[in-house]
A and B are shown apart, each in its own frame.
Chain A
């Protein structure tokens, strides 16, 4: 069962019914059972064992940290290691093995890259719940939060079904009071939640799913589709990635809202950012916050870093002492950010690219400002603001290219051809031919329909987004309107999802690719 499906809606309705009909003191228990059922339906049931290991280890760890404060650090490290190792083993074993064999192949002819691999099934949502539990464990260690005594409640924090699959990552102190509280039935929660879910379906089906086929195809066949196609593919991918992820988050947060539980926001008008740094404060915010709280801060406060700062201050002065440790810590953060997305050098490459952009952004901030002053350019003008937004999107585009490319080498090839003038010109010439090939393969109707859907979807998203920028999200805004407006908007959303959405036979990405160019 995926989030964007009729079955998920039915599942949600059943849980909601039980949630509000049964006595409110049972609400968190219903959520716990519902979440377990969700895991069984959406994931591979046998991998639930990893969830249990995670919950048990953290529960016992926090319990003993309290009971035996003298061994607090040892217990913390031990529990932390169990959870980290589990995450690494399930997610990165193949990556590690591939690298070992890659290195080994240079020393021996008998070893080839990729010789060793495992086929372990990862636990559903482990990238998210592992981080969430590690965060909770660490918060307990630091005394920021008191450990949860009820193992059932801790379990719920781990597997709460709306956020299980794709996040957001919620700090325990932010979520716990709401998660375990008793919620009275409030029609407004259902209104806002319902509209948000509709919005999510709209973004996913009308925009994201319409683009998946062509984006996957262009990236998979990058050797043939080079030059201008890299630009086209990446621009479309930027739109597809955002609509997919933010649409998913809309469904997640909307579903949770129906229960009266607010989750952390992951997006806040990211394309209104004027710098790469700002972008990452508006895009996948909960991951950024987690990395800051549990990697950045501890690193910078560590004794190693303090020593480094002091040495730098003495040798190179205040500015360097401030910047270099920060950049070093950021490097670790971005390395982890890249790695978190997947076990592959192209993912790490993505992280390092963003680190580089942020560092450059910081270093060039003052010089660019004074340059602007000298050239009498108003840095705050609307034009400059738009330019910065476009520039930021461009830099982000390069980063996500690394993310989507089939390998690190492919990424570099694609970037190379994108800036190679002769390739660019040559490829522009073939666009017409490609379009007619596409036309003969999937038909004009399909192309026109997809284009209209994406255009309408984009226009509507910008409309939603304008509201988000103005600090009041669309679903909140619309829920305040009177019944007839709500009915009209809801009806239009549903109708456009039905007619413009890419679902059903013949519309999946794989069928697109199979249909061939």
Chain B
């Protein structure tokens, strides 16, 4: 008699625990499905889809970078594999957590890091972008696209903007649970495991071109005082990289953009710190002529290159990396045959693209 009761209760407990487990797993899947699709999302899901330890280099950047660096060109011309992990309006506080996320599944020899998120470090800056690190949407472009993990928990806990409650970032479905149409779209279900391969390895292109007026570079020798917050974040990032991936090289990149001249002082101060850490930086503003970058034809707007500009920039960065860093050549490696296929598909598509000239409106 007593045994029957014990067994009955055990069965009940088992069912309840199983139900909770299945529900939690189901909620994770549903939350992944309901996350709104965007370039940022696809970039992250594409990254998670890459086989472990298959990437020689990973780029972390904002949209200036993901419209610029073409991993497949780097592969086809120089043989190294890379991924362009970009998210819109990337904030400086996010980068070190992205590094930690990357090294969970990859052991890149090189990290390519966008320096632009730190450019709003000028103490005097009153650009409205200087409050970018307080904005919710750019933060979520990263946090809402990471898989649930301890790293993501810490990222949100330590760095989330206070405009929304922390738990709403941690359990992001609280923000998206009204988007029922997403639940019924087949497109969203591709991302049910927060992982889906991207042929172009994180690169996106613009086809428009606009004429850009670059701000004059009058402060080439200036070293601007960095604002404390930015400086701390930057140092923290450098310390993190030194600690977590001591054998990895780091190349900080500055994509050509219109207002570089205004904030050149900030960059100079950042370069100094990079030197102190023994890492490298590449300021593409200094090589625009060498790359034959055309301000009339190669830009979609003051911050973003179009396909034509991206191709030129990628060739340059690719050759720089090839000269400077000792990355393997995998073009004839049978294990990386799908990279060749990807390149063929992608190159075919890119060659069909026509650049269209636009006016500023």
Query: Which residues of the partner chain A approach B177 to less than 8 Å between Cβ atoms?
Result: 498-499, 504
Please state if A445 and B15 are interface contacts (CB–CB under 8 Å).
no
Please state if B16 and A487 are interface contacts (CB–CB under 8 Å).
yes
**Interface code A505-517, partner B: CB below 8 Å = 1, 0 otherwise?**
1110000000000
CB nearest to B182 among chain A residues: A445
**Interface code B169-181, partner A: CB below 8 Å = 1, 0 otherwise?**
0000011011111
Query: With contacts A483-B12, A487-B19 known, is A506 near B180, CB below 8 A?
Result: no
Whether A8 sits at the interface, judged by CB under 8 Å, is no
Complex CA–CA separation, A448 to B183 (angstroms): 13
Please state if A505 and B165 are interface contacts (CB–CB under 8 Å).
yes
Question: Among B12, B19, B181, B182, which residue has its beta carbon within 8 angstroms of that of A491?
Answer: B19
Please state if A445 and B179 are interface contacts (CB–CB under 8 Å).
yes
Query: Which residues of the partner chain A approach B125 to less than 8 Å between Cβ atoms?
Result: none
Shortest CB-to-CB span from A506 to chain B, Å, is: 6
Please state if B178 and A449 are interface contacts (CB–CB under 8 Å).
yes
Question: Among B16, B168, B179, which residue has its beta carbon within 8 angstroms of that of A505?
Answer: B168
**Interface code A467-508, partner B: CB below 8 Å = 1, 0 otherwise?**
000000000000000010001000100010011000111110
Shortest CB-to-CB span from B168 to chain A, Å, is: 5
Please state if A507 and B178 are interface contacts (CB–CB under 8 Å).
yes
Q: DSSP class of A's interface residues: helix, strand, loop or mixed?
A: helix
CB nearest to B183 among chain A residues: A499
CB nearest to B9 among chain A residues: A483
Shortest CB-to-CB span from A142 to chain B, Å, is: 50
Query: Which residues of the partner chain B approach A507 to less than 8 Å between Cβ atoms?
Result: 178
Whether B164 sits at the interface, judged by CB under 8 Å, is yes
Q: DSSP class of B's interface residues: helix, strand, loop or mixed?
A: helix
Whether A322 sits at the interface, judged by CB under 8 Å, is no
Please state if B164 and A505 are interface contacts (CB–CB under 8 Å).
yes
Is the interface on chain A under 10, 10 to 19, 20 to 34, or 35 or more residues?
Answer: 10 to 19
Complex CA–CA separation, A448 to B179 (angstroms): 9
Shortest CB-to-CB span from A195 to chain B, Å, is: 16
Query: Which residues of the partner chain A approach B19 to less than 8 Å between Cβ atoms?
Result: 487, 491
**Interface code B142-154, partner A: CB below 8 Å = 1, 0 otherwise?**
0000000000000
Query: With contacts A483-B12, A487-B19, A491-B19 known, is A504 near B179, CB below 8 A?
Result: no
Please state if B174 and A448 are interface contacts (CB–CB under 8 Å).
no
Complex CA–CA separation, A452 to B15 (angstroms): 30
Please state if A504 and B174 are interface contacts (CB–CB under 8 Å).
yes
Question: Among A491, A499, A506, which residue has its beta carbon within 8 angstroms of that of B175?
Answer: A506
Complex CA–CA separation, A448 to B182 (angstroms): 13
Complex CA–CA separation, A491 to B23 (angstroms): 10
Please state if B174 and A449 are interface contacts (CB–CB under 8 Å).
no
Question: Among A445, A450, A499, which residue has its beta carbon within 8 angstroms of that of B181?
Answer: A445
Whether A446 sits at the interface, judged by CB under 8 Å, is yes
Query: Which residues of the partner chain A approach B23 to less than 8 Å between Cβ atoms?
Result: 491, 495
Shortest CB-to-CB span from A357 to chain B, Å, is: 39
**Interface code A148-187, partner B: CB below 8 Å = 1, 0 otherwise?**
0000000000000000000000000000000000000000
Complex CA–CA separation, A226 to B175 (angstroms): 33
Shortest CB-to-CB span from B194 to chain A, Å, is: 20
Which of A444, A449, A487, A504 is the most central at the interface, judged by chain B CB atoms within 10 Å of its CB? A504
CB nearest to A498 among chain B residues: B177
Complex CA–CA separation, A487 to B175 (angstroms): 27
Complex CA–CA separation, A446 to B23 (angstroms): 24
**Interface code B126-142, partner A: CB below 8 Å = 1, 0 otherwise?**
00000000001000000
Please state if A445 and B174 are interface contacts (CB–CB under 8 Å).
no
Shortest CB-to-CB span from A36 to chain B, Å, is: 27
Complex CA–CA separation, A108 to B141 (angstroms): 61
Complex CA–CA separation, A218 to B179 (angstroms): 24
Query: With contacts A487-B15, A505-B175 known, is A448 near B180, CB below 8 A?
Result: yes
Please state if B178 and A445 are interface contacts (CB–CB under 8 Å).
yes
Query: Which residues of the partner chain A approach B178 to less than 8 Å between Cβ atoms?
Result: 445-446, 449-450, 507
Which of A445, A491, A498, A505 is the most central at the interface, judged by chain B CB atoms within 10 Å of its CB? A505
Complex CA–CA separation, A503 to B19 (angstroms): 24
**Interface code B12-54, partner A: CB below 8 Å = 1, 0 otherwise?**
1001100100010001000000000000000000000000000
Shortest CB-to-CB span from A443 to chain B, Å, is: 8
Query: Which residues of the partner chain A approach B168 to less than 8 Å between Cβ atoms?
Result: 504-505
Complex CA–CA separation, A301 to B236 (angstroms): 79
Shortest CB-to-CB span from A493 to chain B, Å, is: 13
Complex CA–CA separation, A219 to B165 (angstroms): 29
CB nearest to B30 among chain A residues: A499
Complex CA–CA separation, A505 to B175 (angstroms): 6
Complex CA–CA separation, A449 to B179 (angstroms): 7
B residues at A contact (CB < 8 Å): 12, 15-16, 19, 23, 27, 136, 164-165, 168, 174-175, 177-182
A-B contact pairs, 21 of them (CB 8 A): A445-B178, A445-B179, A445-B180, A445-B181, A445-B182, A446-B178, A448-B180, A450-B178, A483-B12, A487-B16, A487-B19, A491-B19, A491-B23, A498-B27, A498-B177, A504-B177, A505-B136, A505-B174, A505-B175, A506-B175, A507-B178
Q: A444-B181, A445-B182 are in contact. List 4 more A-B contacts (CB 8 A).
A: A445-B180, A450-B178, A491-B19, A505-B164
Q: Which 7 A-B pairs have the closest CB atoms?
A: A504-B174, A449-B178, A505-B164, A505-B168, A445-B179, A505-B175, A445-B181
